[in-house]
Amino acid sequence: MNQVADACGLSKAALYHYFRDKYALLTHIAESHVQVLLAVTREVESQYPDAQQRLPALIERFVLEYADAQDAHRVLTEDVRFLDPVDRDRILSIEREVVAHFARAVAAVRPELAQSALDKPLAMLLFGMINWLFTWFKPGRPLDYSALAPLVADLFLNGIGGLHVTPDALQGDRIHVA
């Protein structure tokens, strides 16, 4: 807790005012992060009723959301297993709801995938692409998160052969996706 307080620029007493211990802090980080992700899915669904626009928008928003939430995302992906079963199950239930939103978005674009029970596995493959960006991606010029987000969506939706990068893709400070 001393290190957390130092990193936050708080006294240890101030940190304990908000969190009784490290466990409460861990639970809060994981749960608030997954709640934000659920809110993003709901927001995108309300903004994009058309399935062809919704799935790329979901992908792009998640890439951008993860860009600023790497530490919280690491807690969610790596540390939830240390929680008590009740807390872990509550958080993982919300996470499963987020995955279900993505699976429905995949199925809305390609209904036959749901009929073949491929919508959820494909959603999980997509999360495999998005979830681990922070482990290897170092944003800079010309590729930052805002330029990478449409590439991830385009790659998932069209494959490498259908990736639509314009001829002047590396011109300037950003990559341009057609």
pLDDT of residue 166: 66
| pLDDT tens figures, 77-107 | 889 999 999 999 999 999 999 999 999 999 9
Helix (H, G, I), strand (E, B) or coil at 165: strand
Crossing angle of helices 85-109 and 22-47, rounded to 10°: 20
177 DSSP β-pair partners: 165
**pLDDT over threshold 70, residue 175:** no
pLDDT, position 68: 86
Top CATH class of 22-137 equals: mainly alpha
Distance CA 170, CA 30 (A): 37
CB within 8 A of 148, min separation 6: which ones?
63, 133, 137, 139, 175
Kindly state the DSSP code that residue 177 receives in the 8-state scheme.
Answer: B
Distance between CA atoms of residues 144 and 178, nearest Å:
17
Residue 53 corresponds to which tokens in the numbers above?
A: 């626009």
Q: CB of 160 within 8 A of CB of 136?
A: no
pLDDT digits (tens, 9 = 90+) for 3-43: 777 777 887 787 777 788 889 889 999 999 999 999 999 99
pLDDT digits (tens, 9 = 90+) for 108-156: 999 998 889 999 999 999 999 998 888 888 888 778 898 889 999 999 9
Q: What is the pLDDT of residues 41-85, one digit of tens each?
A: 999 999 999 999 999 999 999 999 999 888 888 888 889 999 999
